[in-house]
Structure 1
Amino acid sequence: MVDISDYNELVKAVLAISVLLTIFKFIFEKYKTIPKKAEKQPRRKSYGSSPDDPIPKPTPLYITPEQVKTRDDRPWRPFRWPYHQTMSICKLNINHWLDMDKYYYDYIKEKERVLHSYGPDNFDSLPGSEEACLELMETVKEHMLLRYPLLFTSKDNGVHVKNELTGEVLDFSLPLKENPLVYVSKMAKEDFYIVLQGEDGVHRLVAAAVPFPGGSFGIKYKLGKTLDVIHTEVPYYKEKLKPSMEKWFAKMQPADLVERASWYISWDHKLLLNNVYALKEGDKVETDIQPTQFNVRVERQTLRRLPKSRAIIFTNHPVFYSIEEMKDEPLVPSLIRKIIYEAPEGICKYKNFESFRDHILPYLNELVDRQIDLGLITAETPVKTLSTYPFALFIKESDDTKGWSNPKYPGNYSGEFKKEIETADVLEKETYARTAKMGDIIFAA
């Protein structure tokens, strides 16, 4: 006879097993619907794009030739403290690769003078650079037509392009009438350096249009040379800059565009040879030069790679800001004063600070005291890099369409520039031979 209690226990056990199986089935089905975790992707370097990334195209900016006459470019203030010798690069918006400002016409005319007076000393190329020079020319032409459709016009798809600012019609039909570097210099106000990597893996300067070096940059002494040779005179290049540059070049793709700015001080606006670099070694600035005449020459530089030739293109665009026009910008006089006295010794020597710093010190002291009196800073305000580095604080107050004129002290040195150029020729020729081996300023701090 079956014990009914044993039967009940058996039923309970079967029910329990059935419930457990149902629960396990539910969990299993649920687990199958959970998406698998994606495989971990290799982390892309922040400074290196993929070879497949598209090259950005500029956005049209519909400014007229008349608007350009009063237009200021972005206001640079590349003063850093603490001072470190680095590349100090930042990502470049393609819209600002070749900028436009009110000095454009004067700069283009000065390029013509330098080309006529010095020719291959400032404009030249080596055999083997032809493809890169042509690609640069086409890249610049395309950029100008897209970015500034009212300043550069064409009725035949770029075969002939009219520069509405100078009135010149550039004939791009083949065979070209002039070196591609000449065409580039008739469109853009920047200096251009073309660098190619050789079969030995070393980068060399193979072509350049450099009418505005500020010091002496004889192309015939630099073409074919490695970057190490070109930067021989640049302070701390081997220890600080070379590793960064080589790392960047190794990763750099055509979609990678960067910019930076360097600076030094002079008391003129000459583009080919500034007064501070025309001084003989050990000379001091003349005592009759007024401190208010001193200005900061900013070298605004860009770096990009061309997709076909794989050439690396450096550009350099100098622009001047008087110390006087920056006098009410908090900390700027303090930064300048500190840097010209306390920067590393090699930098002070390279930028020739010793030739003039004692001369303008009383002036800078007055400007710093003035900022304290106005409440712009206090005596205890730390002297450090501006929060808007490498630009002025008022950059936030305007945009591409309006431009960036100084809201308090708008300036225009075009008249002074023209007068200085009229008397420049003799001094240039005397100084050029003496300083022909001076290092360039592509990546000076």
Structure 2
Amino acid sequence: MDTFKIPGPLWLIGLALLSASVLYLAVNKSKRHALVGRVGLRSRREPTAGTPPRSLSPEKKSSTSQPLQPSYTDILPPQRRGVLPKLVSSLSYDEVSEDEVKRRILPMTTDYRTSEGNRYTPTGFSVDEIKVLGDFPNYAELSGVPLPQAYPEFNIDKALSRLYRPFRWAYHQTMSLSKMEMDWWIELDNTYKDRIAQRKGLYAKYGKAVLDYLPGSELACKELMEMVLQFICARYPQYFSLVNNRILKNEILGTEQDIRSKHPLEILMDNVPEDFAVMMRDDVTGHYFFRAGTVCSSLGWNVGIKIGLQLHQVHGPVPDYKEKMQFSMDRFFAKMPTDKPIQRGSWGLEVDTPLYMPPGDPHKVHRLSQDPNLRLTDCYLRVDWQTLRRLPLSSAVVFNFKTPFTPVTEFRDEPGVPALVAKILKEGKRNLMQYKSSWHVEHVVLPKMEEWAKEQEENGLVEKGWKVTTLDESPYFRGWEEKWHRQQGF
């Protein structure tokens, strides 16, 4: 049986947030109608008949093939218009009702640059106001999310990704989540040059399968690029700077690039080794669609397969999504504010370090059998570290994710990690473990995790007979920062 899976930030984030919502509502009834479930974009199965074709994008709706769905036309995210006078003295704050915004809403497929000036984005900004704000407005003020602190001790040649170990027990459809750590939205490490080269190579080879954008996404893509560039210039000033809001100087690559010379997503492709998926609100139904993105770390799917699809269509292969999660996920997207971004991590165990595995990729053969010659040193933890935030001007909801790999041999001195991994591999819910597709390495990884778990008890690294559960430091482990700094030398 083929258990090949598509890892998915979207559905996993959704499961996490759905669980958190239930707990939150139980203790805060006054917010009962203001909080809804959460969402996640990848899964690990190859596309099946359950994944609707690209023809079901908003431009090509089929009334006979689409199930009846609730309308979210009347639900808008919270407005951010109140900050306008702080940014441009000539812009006064005039209250605009939600009814007026909905009446004059900017259609999802319309380029704001050629639109009427009195059209509004879902967060309540008019096209005229957006044009007055110009390039690189103060996105910290616009979004309510502060810029990061500068990181002067950061050395790109030594830097390692944080030591993510997002393992949980009990392992079921309840995922951990937290507020996004504002200083770490974009996280660089010593694989930067190799990853940029790899991603550009993938784009050259696969084109729209890894980077694409649909009409109407112009503002969201520009806004995303500007927010990311503002972030990296503030966080890593020793490596990035903007000259006249026009020329991006990248000291790591030794380049100076006119940011108007390419599409905004291509500028990100050239300089930021992370994936971005842009979801936009359909002005007719209020539902969200995948309208633009650059994704080079997908397993079993690609941008070309998912672009143009509605949120629930993107999740076609996810078990129980329609029955248990679709309603709350759509509701969450409809109401998510700009100032409450979130983060979470998913994981998998892999042979080597496959970053991009489109349908039919030869690397898939590793997942079909347990190779008797497989060595532990060939096995890696793959973490998909994900954030989700709403852009303030366009109102698009953006997922971004990075994919660090760690040799599983690193687990040996990490308190509690071997025992936790062993328990998940042995006792994890069957359908979820099949979906995760770790079977092909378990014959090598599991015995070693059991051996190291006993070793840690004998050496006093963990308490003997401890109850194996999610670590208190999740998504890390006790002492992770000391190890992380030691490995980097700073």
Same fold (TM over 0.5): yes
Residue matched to 1:294: 379
Verify the 8 A CA contact 1:64 1:151 in the aligned structure 2. no
Is residue 170 from structure 1 mapped to residue 237 from structure 2 by the alignment? no
Gaps of 5+ in 2: 1-29, 38-76, 84-140
Residue matched to 2:65: none
Query: What CA deviation, in whole Å up to 9, does each residue of 1:204-261 have, x standing for no partner?
Result: 1001100111x13222221111121212223443455545533432331111111000
Distance 1:64 1:152 in 2: 15
Is residue 160 from structure 1 mapped to residue 247 from structure 2 by the alignment? yes
Task: Trace 1:350-369 onto structure 2 (pairs within 5 A).
Answer: 350-369=435-454
Residue matched to 2:305: 221
Distance 1:116 1:282 in 2: 27
Distance 1:77 1:155 in 2: 39
Among residues 177, 180, 198, which one is paired with 1:92 in the alignment?
180
Distance 1:239 1:90 in 2: 25
Residue matched to 1:68: 156
Q: Residue type of the partner of 1:125? A: Y
TM-superposed deviation, 1:354 = 2.2
Among residues 281, 304, 308, which one is paired with 1:197 in the alignment?
281
Structure 1, 339-348 or 259-268: larger mean CA deviation: 339-348
Q: How many residues align?
A: 358
Verify the 8 A CA contact 1:63 1:151 in the aligned structure 2. no
Query: What CA deviation, in whole Å up to 9, does each residue of 1:357-396 have, x standing for no partner?
Result: 1233222222122112212235521110000111232245
Q: Residue type of the partner of 1:250? A: A
TM-superposed deviation, 1:87 = 5.0
Q: Residue type of the partner of 2:341? A: L
Q: 1:348 to 1:75 in 2, by over 3 A?
A: same
Q: 1:126 to 1:216 in 2, by over 3 A?
A: same
Verify the 8 A CA contact 2:370 2:443 in the aligned structure 1. no
Q: Residue type of the partner of 1:122? A: V
TM-superposed deviation, 1:343 = 1.7
Verify the 8 A CA contact 1:86 1:241 in the aligned structure 2. no
Residue matched to 2:222: 134
Instruction: Indicate the percent of aligned positions where both proteins have the same amino acid.
Output: 31
TM-superposed deviation, 1:167 = 1.2
Distance 2:327 2:376 in 1: 39
Gaps of 5+ in 1: 1-41, 398-403, 413-445
Residue matched to 2:148: 59
Verify the 8 A CA contact 2:277 2:292 in the aligned structure 1. yes
TM superposition score normalised by structure 1 = 0.73
Structure 1, 347-356 or 238-247: larger mean CA deviation: 238-247
Distance 1:411 1:162 in 2: 25
Verify the 8 A CA contact 1:394 1:406 in the aligned structure 2. no
Verify the 8 A CA contact 1:185 1:209 in the aligned structure 2. yes
Among residues 89, 106, 109, which one is paired with 2:197 in the alignment?
109
Q: Residue type of the partner of 1:59? A: P
Aligned-residue CA RMSD in angstroms?
2.9
Distance 2:445 2:228 in 1: 41
Verify the 8 A CA contact 1:189 1:317 in the aligned structure 2. yes
TM-superposed deviation, 1:196 = 0.6
Task: Trace 1:289-368 onto structure 2 (pairs within 5 A).
Answer: 289-368=374-453
Query: What CA deviation, in whole Å up to 9, does each residue of 1:150-185 have, x standing for no partner?
Result: 1112332x200111111121202xxx3322111112
For residue 302 of structure 1, give the secondary structure of its aligned residue in structure 2.
Answer: strand
Query: What CA deviation, in whole Å up to 9, does each residue of 1:306-359 have, x standing for no partner?
Result: 111110000010011222112121221111111123222222111212222123
Residue matched to 1:405: 484
Task: Trace 1:247-258 onto structure 2 (pairs within 5 A).
Answer: 247-258=331-342
Q: 1:259 to 1:239 in 2, by over 3 A?
A: farther
Structure 1, 280-289 or 194-203: larger mean CA deviation: 280-289
